[in-house]
Copies of this chain bind each other. A is one copy, B any other.
């Protein structure tokens, strides 16, 4: 990451361009928010043009809210996180787009999340949501662990929890394992008929599998033995990602994502003790990427 030298008058445009939507936030050097904007998905898998269109809409909305015209944006430094930036040619294409800012720096969505989580310092994150992925920024180097997608990767994620519980429900249905409250509820969702599960499976995406995760979490809290085993296995997978990041040299590790807090409670105590608090979110990371000094939020 290279950052422009900035003076006190500079402003910072932070953009988080994800797969479900794009957020932009205009800030002063001390982190005061003076404008915000939203737009649709900005992941490069929808095409680089669509990605840039969403990013432009989001930052234009933030400029509007701050009352700054595009022609007056020359004192603004932008930091832009984009899902799928490492896709072939995407970074080059986005860096070539015309923008009104003094500078614009691009990074992956994971990288701005990591920057934000550690206030710009070196550190590592494990993202646990529909998918799972480990990421570390160490002396300017990026290390990625896992996150190759479902079902060949993304162990410990919501989709993984969903696949595990549907598998277990099928097994319990025909007596290969004990039927529990959790597995009964899952079979109930399929009208107690594996045939319905087969039909569902034919169309099911990772997101569809992940929709079962909250049910597993709820039953695990109630002590359901099948739910507990699935949560333990998921936590073990996340632990392996975390321990690998420590082995690779990370000193700070933070879990983020929709399932982070629940998975965290299932981790081995030694690993749980080694976790660092999340200092900021992805937009904080994008602002740091833009050159805004790190601030304690």
B201–A247 touching, CB < 8 Å:
no
| Nearest-CB residue, chain B, relative to A153 | B170
- Chain B residues with CB below 8 A from A179, complex form: none
Decide yes or no whether A50 CB sits under 8 A from chain B.
no
Bin chain A's interface residue count: 20 to 34
How far is B179's CA from A280's CA once the two chains are assembled, in angstroms? 36
- Chain B residues with CB below 8 A from A247, complex form: 175
A148–B244 touching, CB < 8 Å:
no
A167–B152 touching, CB < 8 Å:
yes
- Chain B residues with CB below 8 A from A103, complex form: none
A176–B248 touching, CB < 8 Å:
no
A145–B166 touching, CB < 8 Å:
no
A244–B176 touching, CB < 8 Å:
yes
Which of A163, A171, A197 lies at the interface centre, i.e. has the most chain B CB atoms within 10 A of its CB? Answer: A171
User: Closest Cβ of chain B: how far from A256's Cβ, in Å?
Assistant: 19
How far is B145's CA from A197's CA once the two chains are assembled, in angstroms? 15
Decide yes or no whether A277 CB sits under 8 A from chain B.
no
How far is B193's CA from A144's CA once the two chains are assembled, in angstroms? 13
How far is B197's CA from A144's CA once the two chains are assembled, in angstroms? 15
Which of A144, A148, A241, A248 lies at the interface centre, i.e. has the most chain B CB atoms within 10 A of its CB? Answer: A148
| Nearest-CB residue, chain B, relative to A199 | B149
A244–B174 touching, CB < 8 Å:
yes
| Nearest-CB residue, chain B, relative to A201 | B152
Decide yes or no whether A194 CB sits under 8 A from chain B.
yes
Decide yes or no whether A257 CB sits under 8 A from chain B.
no
Select A145's contact among B151, B174, B202, beta carbons within 8 Å.
B174
Decide yes or no whether A180 CB sits under 8 A from chain B.
no
Decide yes or no whether A276 CB sits under 8 A from chain B.
no
User: Closest Cβ of chain B: how far from A178's Cβ, in Å?
Assistant: 12
User: Closest Cβ of chain B: how far from A45's Cβ, in Å?
Assistant: 11
Contact of A248 with B175 at beta-carbon distance under 8 Å, contacts A153-B167, A153-B170, A170-B153 already known = yes
User: Closest Cβ of chain B: how far from A130's Cβ, in Å?
Assistant: 15
B175–A146 touching, CB < 8 Å:
no
User: Closest Cβ of chain B: how far from A176's Cβ, in Å?
Assistant: 5
Decide yes or no whether A240 CB sits under 8 A from chain B.
yes
15 example contacts (A-B, Cβ-Cβ < 8 A) are as follows A144-B174, A145-B174, A145-B176, A146-B170, A146-B174, A148-B198, A148-B201, A149-B202, A152-B166, A152-B170, A152-B198, A153-B170, A175-B244, A175-B247, A177-B240
